[in-house]
Structure 1
Amino acid sequence: MVPADARVAARIAVGLPEPLARLMLGGYRAAAEGFFAGVDPLLGKLLGREPRTVRDVLSERA
């Protein structure tokens, strides 16, 4: 695993502004910790169908 500071530094080195590099790191950390894994049952009601996973959508297009 690449340390957080190294991730930020690598993005800055290729021209990404530091605040954006840190924002991206926050999104990566949230995803790695499962923050986006849960689905509120309200989503299905709003969509009018069961939600699909990203994996399902990508496999349909492959």
Structure 2
Amino acid sequence: MITEEQFLRYEEVRASGVTNMIDIVRVGVLSDLNRKQCLEIMSSYSNLKDKYLTKESK
């Protein structure tokens, strides 16, 4: 299960534009997430975004 903190670290890297998000090794280094966590976030991105980012705008 991906925590809010993990998702937000991934999202920070994504929003920065510093790397191609397909480069899981680099994303992992920049976000301090392992390969499995990165892949889980990628496969569930929409649901996690709704769960963790939508609440910030409410």
Short-chain TM bin: 0.3 to 0.5
Q: TM-score scaled by structure 2?
A: 0.35
Q: TM-score scaled by structure 1?
A: 0.34
Which entry has the higher C-alpha Rg, 1 or 2?
1
- Which structure exhibits the higher relative contact order, with contacts defined as CA atoms closer than 8 Å and separated by 6 or more residues? 2
More helix per residue: 1 or 2?
2
